[in-house]
Amino acid sequence: MEYEPVIGLEIHAELKTQTKMFCDCKNDPDEKHPNINVCPVCLAHPGTLPVPNKDAIEKVILVGMALHAEIPERSHFDRKNYFYPDLPRGYQISQYEDPLVKGGYLEFAISSGSIRHIRITRVHLEEDTGRLSHDSKSQSSAVDFNRAGVPLMELVTEPDIRSAEEARCFGEELQLVLRYTGASDADMEKGQMRVEANVSVRPKGMKEFGTKVEVKNINSFKFAEKAIEYEIKRQTGVLEKGEKVIQETRGWDETKGVTFSQRAKEGATDYRYFPEPDIPPLVLDQAWLQSIRAKLTELPGAKRKRFAGEYKLDEKTIELFINDRELAEYFEKVVSEMAEWISSMGDRVERDKVIKLASNYLTSDFQKLRNETESAVSDTLITPENFAELAALVYEDKISSAAAKKVLEIMFRKGGDPSEIIRDKNLGQESSGEMLGKIAKQVIAENPAIAAEIKNGKTNAIQALVGAAMKLSQGKANPAMLRTLIEKELREA
């Protein structure tokens, strides 16, 4: 029997606000010293009252708008009742019946190129918990409340996902949306984004869902894909043996590459939700919602389409730019600087080719220098104007690709005008027919065996002569012109 997986995701993201959700404490859950960013409100001292963070509410609404969701006019907070040492109040202020965001969807491509459309159930706002640390030697536990009260967005999907790859791609695309909207840095390594997967397996064609298993402790999209793949295989194996899948919560052991049972779940947990009496219902004014919508900038999906249509870039290059907004903005400034030159050159310049040339240097050599120096694009000493000029010089064969890399490194480390650097360092490309003709004759004379092979039909051997000629010119010769002249000399010999 063939089985198919049914997957839904629950994703939490810490919001990028200055202060916590219900108090004025600094929002810095990564503070090294424990219990520094705390106050009577987030520690739940008697008599204190929570005041909602307007910025956090705006950020969740903005994410909802980016996901094509409904933003209800009324929303309210609820108390989610459970006891745990990292929860100061003995309950969590969350949302249940009336979340800020309802419905919506996210579209993304998977490796096959097909587009997936995953529906969103809801996005709501709540406060994060503290952090527990356990010492096995002393058999004691400590709690750090710096994270307690940090604004936390929770997104729940419909069970529309049908593979581990789709789950990973969904998470990666949502991460981009969170970053593009400015809602969260969504760094999984820092715990700013956390993924839980609800996985079940059923016979293919069956409409009813199988028994759901929740998988936790996932700290990267790569591990999310592996954990879900493992769980699909495990559940399929259980069903093939004629046994029943147990409804439970399982953790992911990244070292062993397996999921492990944490606790059984006989049914939905009863958190005894009821409206938070200390916070009035939220009534969302339409004028305010319109002002939030105005902050919505170009999203990843729209940027992909525009970069493909406007700049004719390949998919791999586009993804590099999509994942690095700062680099993408710099690239567009470079293209803007090239516009006048491209226009003035008329038919002598193929716009798409010179733009591709500039993007290649940006995504390869420029990125390599950035990685080596651990620097941001904003730190670079190369102005978009100078970068555009360097790309134009390469396109016009005034400088070789090898020399261009040297010039780029000098510009990156010291700044400067590329034309001046080329002149000062004597890096200009030699395109004189007379000079290159002499070099062509010399390499043929010095390599008679290779020349004979070429004449006898082994045309690929000409690259050896071109390489020798480039060495003679100290890398300054125009390789295309050099090849043409060598071929001409061989024909006439």
Decide: helix, strand or coil at residue 12: strand
Residue tagged 């729209």 (tokens)? 302
Q: What is the residue whose two structure tokens read 């899948």?
A: 245
Whether residues 191 and 66 share a domain: the answer is yes
Cα dihedral sign for 295, 298, 300, 301?
positive
- Exposed e or buried b per residue across 174-187, where buried means at least 16 C-beta atoms within 10 angstroms of its C-beta: bbbbbbbbebbebe
Asked whether residue 280 falls in the same domain as residue 222, the answer is: yes
For residues 481 and 374, membership in a common domain is answered with no
CATH number reported for the structural domain that contains residue 450 in this entry? 1.10.10.410
| Whether 244 and 99 share a structural domain | yes
* Angle at the Cα of 372 from the Cα atoms of 371 and 373, rounded to 5 degrees: 90
Helix axes 325-345, 351-361, angle to 10 degrees: 140
Same domain, 258 and 380: no
Amino acid at 72: P
From 235, 262, 293, give the residue that closes a domain: 293
| 141/80 same-domain check | yes
Segment 133-176, tens digit of pLDDT: 988 888 899 999 999 999 999 999 999 999 999 999 999 999 99
Tell me which of 293, 320, 337 is where a domain ends: 293
Q: How confident is the model at residue 467 (pLDDT cuts 50, 70, 90)?
A: confident
Do 168 and 217 belong together in one domain?
yes
- The reply to whether 288 and 329 lie within a common domain is no
- Residue 292 in 3-state DSSP? helix
Which residue has 């002149």 as its token pair? 423
Q: Which residue has the higher pLDDT, 419 or 483?
A: 419
Rounded to an integer, the average pLDDT of 383-409 is 93
* pLDDT tens-digit series, residues 423-457: 999 888 766 677 788 888 888 888 988 888 888 88
List the beta bridge partners of residue 122: 102, 156
Dist CA 228 CA 198 (whole Å): 9
Are 233 and 366 in the same domain? no
Residue 282 sits in the same domain as residue 329: no
Range of the domain at 461: 433-492
Measured distance CA(80)–CA(93) in Å, rounded:
6
Would you say 435 and 460 are in contact if contact means Cβ atoms under 8 Å apart?
no
Whether residues 305 and 276 fall in one domain: no
- Tally of domains within the chain: 3
Does 415 have pLDDT greater than 70?
yes
Residue-wise DSSP of 30-59: T-SSTT-S--TTTTT-TT------HHHHHH
How many of the other CB atoms lie within 10 Å of CB of 5?
23
Cα(159)–Cα(124) distance, rounded to whole angstroms?
18
For 84-141, what is each residue's pLDDT tens digit?
999 999 999 999 999 999 999 999 999 999 999 999 999 999 999 999 998 888 889 9
E strand spans, 315-444: none
pLDDT above 90 for 232: yes
- For residues 220 and 316, membership in a common domain is answered with no
Of 293, 309, 327, the last residue of a domain is 293
Instruction: Output the pTM of the full model.
Output: 0.89
